[in-house]
Structure 1
Amino acid sequence: MLITAIDLVKHGEKKGFFSKQKKPKDRISNVSFQIEKGQCAGLVGESGSGKSTLARILLGLKKIDGGEVQIDGMTADKWRRVNRGKMSVVFQDYLSSVHPSFTVKEIIAEPMRLLKQNQNLDQKVLSLLEQVRLPSSVLNQYAHQLSGGQLQRVCIARAISTHPAILILDEVLSSLDVSVQVQILELLETLKQELDMTMLLITHDVEAAVYLCDRLLFFT
């Protein structure tokens, strides 16, 4: 699988009616790149540089204003339709990423239920917990009962539950303490070695990107 972006353009949001800025600055302007199958690529840049916008374009959450994104020779929209559940994401804000009334078991199982992958569901959830180094004792706990690091691990387990071909990690370290960031990075490095997937790390942390990624793309 090859992800190819060709001359991508995404216009910035228009300001309010009374703003002096008549034409907003482009969030993404003529960006092109390729990511090979199995590669871990880091998109590095400061806040507002457009890197998270690019992640949302790949996920289909935002439309492009120019250019093209292809995955495996198909448009990104068509690839997502044909390969439902094969692109996953872990967001920075782990609390708002999960249903507050769901237990850990329900959070992790949700994507599999949606794709009707219900066979041996309990065992799959236990196996995923083990993969992200969480004890089975958290199964029936709720998001508010977990630490930030634990909840981000739950979000990672949910993201890999459908065996995605592409995993997007959008500032997954930013809201965590430094010691927990190191633990999550080590976990991601292990998953990178164990799982056959392409990873895209969106971050402002150059050191984290250098540690985890095979190549870096800088957004300015």
Structure 2
Amino acid sequence: MLITANQLRKHGEAKGFFSHQKESKARISNVSFQIEKGQCIGLVGESGSGKSTLARILLGLEKLDGGEVLLDGRPAHIWRKKNRGEMSVVFQDYLSSVHPSFTVKEIIAEPMRLLKHEKNMDQKVLSLLEQVRLPSSLLNHYAHQLSGGQLQRVCIARAISTNPAILILDEVLSSLDVSVQVQILELLETLKQELDMTILMITHDVEAAVYLCDRLLFLHEGLLVEECTNDQLFEATHPFTLKLLDSLLPFQLDKK
């Protein structure tokens, strides 16, 4: 397994005047799952369910209060240290995730520059722009000169610039107009077919997850309540999963 999560626990922070006397609510409670190399997995849940917390844990941006994450059979912190650039992320807020004084070329090249992968960098940036369906005329534009969809494509290009083994998509559609969401989903589907990556898509949009992903994990109030492939969606039993699936018509569950 490329990603193995065993009994992950992360406590939240208690709030209120006497928060030190209160037991904090868990943000993640004993969550376990496995992802094989090359799979595209959707982690679906409502706002506050713990999805983004789980993403930050996998990325090493938050520490666990219990459990362990193994990447390719090794403790996550050891794997990440020895495999710099092998895990990438695309965040929801594309504006705050790029340096405002960087051009498109500098944004995309940043990971390669930090990892000293500078050979043929200009050509690589042009190739990445082509992969995300953007014209080379945007190379010297700044973030504020791009539309939301264009900038999110730039962020995707940056994320795949190091040929990562693992790509995490954290609510990448949420800040975009519906028509642009469709375009980004189609782009991600194409990249999924073209690139040898393991993808974890974190989203509240079950329809988008069904379209892109091979298997879905449903997270509710910090608990992993159900796990199923697209073919098994009609067999779901948990009330939370059924509530989300109520919005899908039968023909929508067959993405092809």
TM over 0.5, shorter chain: yes
Partner of 2:227: none
Give the whole-Å Cα distance in 2 for the aligned partners of 1:26 and 1:36. 27
1:28-43 aligned within 5 A: 28-43=28-43
**Is the alpha carbon distance of 1:65 and 1:20 closer, same or farther for their aligned partners in structure 2, counting shifts above 3 Å?**
closer
- Report what 1:171 is aligned to: 171
Question: What is the letter of the counterpart of residue 177 of structure 1?
Answer: D
Q: Secondary structure at the match of 1:77?
A: helix
**Could you report, residue by residue, the CA deviation over 1:116-137 in whole angstroms, capped at 9, with x for unpaired residues?**
0111111000000000000001
Deviation at 1:21, TM superposition (A): 7.4
Q: Which deviates more from structure 2 when the two are superposed, residues 200-209 or residues 18-27?
A: 18-27
In structure 2, the residue matched to 1:84 is 84
The Cα offsets for residues 155-201 of structure 1, whole Å up to 9 and x where unpaired, read as 00000000000000000000000000000000000000000010000
- Are the aligned partners of 1:108 and 1:125 in contact in 2 as well (CA < 8 Å)? yes
Cα 1:194–1:21 shift into 2, 3 Å = farther
Aligned to 1:131: 131
Aligned-pair distance for 1:14? 2.7
> Structure 1: which 5+ residue stretches go unaligned?
none
- Give the secondary-structure state (helix, strand or coil) at the position aligned to 2:110: helix
- In structure 1, what is the equivalent of residue 230 of structure 2? none
Whole-Å separation in 2 of the counterparts to 1:21 and 1:103: 49
State the distance in 2 between where 1:32 and 1:196 align. 24
For 1:130-149, what aligned pairs fall within 5 Å after superposition?
A: 130-149=130-149
In the alignment, is the contact (CA less than 8 A) between 1:112 and 1:162 conserved in 2? Answer: yes
Give the CA deviation at 1:17. 3.6
> Separation in 2 of the partners of 1:122 and 1:16?
53
Two-structure CA RMSD over aligned residues (Å): 1.1
**Within 5 A, what are the aligned runs for 1:107-118?**
107-118=107-118
Q: What is the TM-score normalised by the length of structure 1?
A: 0.98
Displacement of 1:84: 0.5
Cα distance change of structure 1 residues 153 and 21 upon mapping to structure 2, 3 Å threshold:
farther
Equivalent-residue separation in structure 1 for 2:154 and 2:14 (angstroms): 36
Among all aligned residue pairs of Structure 1 and Structure 2, give the percentage whose two residues are the same amino acid.
86
Q: Normalising to structure 2: TM-score of the pair? A: 0.84
* Mapped partners of 2:175, 2:21: distance in 1: 32
| Whole-angstrom distance in 2 between the partners of 1:172 and 1:28 | 21
- 2:14–2:20 Cα contact (<8 Å) kept: no
Q: Secondary structure of the residue that 1:219 maps to in structure 2? A: strand
Counterpart-to-counterpart distance in 1, 2:2 and 2:119: 31
Gaps of 5+ in 2: 221-256
| Contact 1:15 1:21 survives alignment (8 Å) | no
- In structure 2, relative to structure 1, the CA distance for the partners of 1:71 and 1:47 (3 Å cut) is same
Is contact 2:3–2:70 with CA below 8 Å preserved after alignment?
yes
* Structure 2 match to 1:214: 214
Please show how residues 1-220 of structure 1 align to structure 2 within 5 Å: 1-19=1-19, 22-220=22-220
Q: Distance in 1 between matches of 2:19 and 2:10?
A: 20
Counterpart residue identity of residue 127, structure 1: S
Query: Greater relative contact order (Cα 8 A, min sep 6): structure 1 or 2?
Result: 1
- What amino acid is the match of 2:40? C
Q: CA deviation at 1:18?
A: 4.0
Q: How many residues end up aligned between the 2 structures?
A: 220
